[in-house]
A and B are shown apart, each in its own frame.
Chain A
Amino acid sequence: MNIQEYISSGIVESYVLGLASNEERTEFEQLCATHAELRQAREAFEKSLEEHALDTAMPAPAGLKKQIWSELSLAGSASSPLSTEKKDGQSIPLTPVRKLSVASFLAAASIILLLGSTLLNFYFYNKYKSSIAKLDEMIASNQQFAASNNAMQTRLQQYETSLNLIKDTNMAVIAMKGQAIAPQSLTTLYWNRQTKDVYLLVNALPRAAEGKQYQLWAIVDGKPVSAGLLDIHSTEGLVKMSNVVKAQAFAITLEKQGGSQTPTVPIYVMGQIQSSLLLLFLFQMG
């Protein structure tokens, strides 16, 4: 085979342009391997074809490169190398759209947070108010307890004091029995032999009429001496009366408010000091 004739037969162009049959292709490739002139001829036509194609190129569609990169999932390279596609309209809206979506997301989120926070504030304010009310109630009831506790303490102290007075071994006890006007009445008189203090326990006495008050009298050598007035209100426990140095008997009459100089009849209760007790008093005085 004359290779020059083969070269000029049109087989080179036919092969390069893809118009050759399979048989022709196989033959051409085999001959190329052994004939440098054939390869050179092929290469020359390829180059002229490529140059012509580049010379007559059409501007590629705008944005196509980006689509291709996107389809092939080629990372990040679509933006930077595209000097020819900088005017590509598709790339421009991306950033603002994304920014806008972030901004609106943040705006929506902050509105939701604000609403949530307002509701929580309302909820907590209500809880706070009810807590304050409960606290006030508790403070009030605590004060009630404290007050009643004080009262109890006071009464307990009174009883303790009374008990201690009664337990005192120097205390003489004189029962004053009800007389004709009030036979059910009874009072007990405690008279300290050392200090001469006199205490009166009202076991039972008729309620004093309005403007009237019970008065204690010590009968000294046949004469009544006032030993103090009974407080109308505090008739519980031992009531401290005036000191009495010497007496043979005690009596209680109902007098006008503030007491009298001399007792008025009738006598409600009366008690006499036993002679042995009287001796004991006299002995200690001596």
Chain B
Amino acid sequence: MNDTVTYNEQELVLSLKAKDQQSFSYLYDHYAGALYSIVLQVVPDKELASDVLQEVFVNIWRKIESYDSSKGRLFTWMLNVARNLAIDMVRSKAYQNSQKNQPMPESDSFGKAGNSVQLSVDNIGLRKVINKLKTEHRVLIDLAYFKGYTHEEIAEIESLPLGTVKTRIRSALTQLREYLK
């Protein structure tokens, strides 16, 4: 039945803020897959990623009031909600404990840890695009975007000057824009 109902961005946002359940249902049907993809790129465990995705939609429903359309599109906001919750999950003690017997998920081996539950996420979503970047760029985007480290933390981890980190990330991002066009 929702196939016949379409919303433009403005209508969707207004309906969601009015707590219209049908619009929320449309939102889920339309975006759950895309958001699941981004969560999986951060949390390769399918079950945990599913838990995160549930949390993402619960947050969207409850915090839609805080979405400000002047600062960006609805999807951008949802994408950041999903990414932040996924990074929170990876940084949680429970997740760290579950991963402690496995090799550190370095960028090249990420998702190839031999755990059958974990997906190889190198070829899904943004990662596929990021893999086109030079290694020195790719590593920094992975740490910044998928692991949520600040530029200062990355500078420390990679033993690089903060300025270099900033420049390389900006450079990587402009390339990313070209790839996405």
Contact A19 B33 (CB under 8 A): no
Chain B residues within 8 Å of A61, by CB: 36, 46, 49-50, 53
Determine the distance from Cα of A54 to Cα of B180 in the docked complex, in whole angstroms: 12
- Are B53 and A54 in touch, CB under 8 angstroms? no
A58 touches B37 (CB 8 A): yes
Interface residues of B in 132-147 (CB under 8 A from A): 144-145
Q: Verify B50–A64 contact, CB threshold 8 A.
A: yes
B 100-121 contacts with A by CB, 8 A: none
Contact B75 A58 (CB under 8 A): no
Task: Please indicate the chain A residues that have their CB under 8 angstroms from the CB of B96 in the complex.
Answer: none
Please report which residues of chain B, range 59-82, place their CB below 8 angstroms from some CB of chain A when the two chains form the complex.
61-62, 70-73, 75-76, 79-80
Nearest to A78 among chain B residues (CB) is: B25
Q: How many residues of A contact B (CB 8 A)?
A: 46
Instruction: Report which A residues bind B (CB closer than 8 A).
Output: 8-14, 16-19, 21, 29, 32-33, 42-43, 45-50, 52-54, 56-61, 64-65, 67-68, 71-72, 74-75, 77, 80-84
* Alpha-carbon distance between A72 and B35 when the two chains are bound, in angstroms: 19
Given that A46-B75, A81-B25 are contacting pairs, would A57 and B177 also be in contact in the complex, using a CB cutoff of 8 Å?
A: no
- Contact call B129/A49, Cβ cutoff below 8 A: no
Q: Which B residues are in CB contact (< 8 Å) with A52?
A: 125-126, 129, 180
Using CB atoms, name the residue of chain A closest to B38: A53
CA distance A138 to B3 in the complex (A): 86
Interface centre among B26, B31, B174 (most CB of A within 10 A): B174
Cα separation A245 to B124 with both chains bound (whole Å):
152
For residue B29, CB closer than 8 A to chain A, the reply is yes
Contact of B125 among A19, A56, A82 (CB under 8 A): A56
Say whether B76 contacts A53, CB under 8 Å: no
Determine whether the beta carbon of A68 is less than 8 Å from that of B34.
no
- Report whether A46 and B72 are in contact in the complex, using a CB–CB cutoff of 8 Å: yes
B171 at the interface (CB under 8 A from A): yes
With known contacts A48-B180, A80-B1, A10–B72 Cβ distance under 8 A: no
Question: Quick one: which of B151-181 are within 8 Å of A by CB?
Answer: 151, 169-174, 176-177, 180-181
A13 touches B176 (CB 8 A): yes
Residue among A49, A56, A58, A59 facing the most chain B CB atoms (10 A cut-off) = A58
Q: Which residue of A lies closest to B30 (CB)?
A: A54
Given contacts A10-B174, A19-B169, A53-B79, contact A47 B73 (CB under 8 A): yes
Main secondary structure of the interface of A (DSSP, over half): helix
Could you list 10 examples of A-B contacts with CB < 8 Å? A14-B173, A29-B71, A46-B76, A48-B181, A56-B128, A57-B33, A60-B28, A60-B36, A72-B61, A83-B2
Nearest A-chain residue to B73, judged by Cβ? A46
Nearest B-chain residue to A41, judged by Cβ: B177
Cβ–Cβ contact B169 & A67, under 8 A: no
Contacts of A43 in B (CB 8 A): 73
* A58 / chain B contacts, CB cutoff of 8 Å: 33, 36-37, 40, 124
Q: Are B180 and A45 in contact, with the CB atoms below 8 A?
A: yes
**Distance in Å: Cβ of A39 to nearest Cβ of chain B:** 9
CB distance from B114 to the nearest CB of A (A): 21
B174 with A49: CB separation less than 8 A: no
Distance between A22 CB and nearest chain B CB, rounded to angstroms: 11
- B173, A13: Cβ atoms under 8 Å? yes
- Interface bits B12-42 vs A (CB < 8 Å: 1, else 0): 0000000001101110110111111110100
Q: Give CA–CA (A137, B7) in the complex, Å.
A: 91
For residue B3, which residues in chain A have a CB less than 8 angstroms away from its CB? 83
Min distance, Cβ B6 to any Cβ of chain A, angstroms: 14
Alpha-carbon distance A81/B126, docked complex (angstroms): 29
- The CA-CA distance from A247 to B120 in the complex, in Å, is 154
Q: How far is the CA of A77 from the CA of B171 in the complex (A)?
A: 46
A65, B32: Cβ atoms closer than 8 Å: yes
Across the interface, name the chain A residue whose C-beta is closest to B39: A58
Instruction: State the CA gap A100–B120 with chains docked (Å).
Output: 43
A252 to chain B, nearest CB (A): 124
B residues in contact with A84, CB < 8 Å = 29
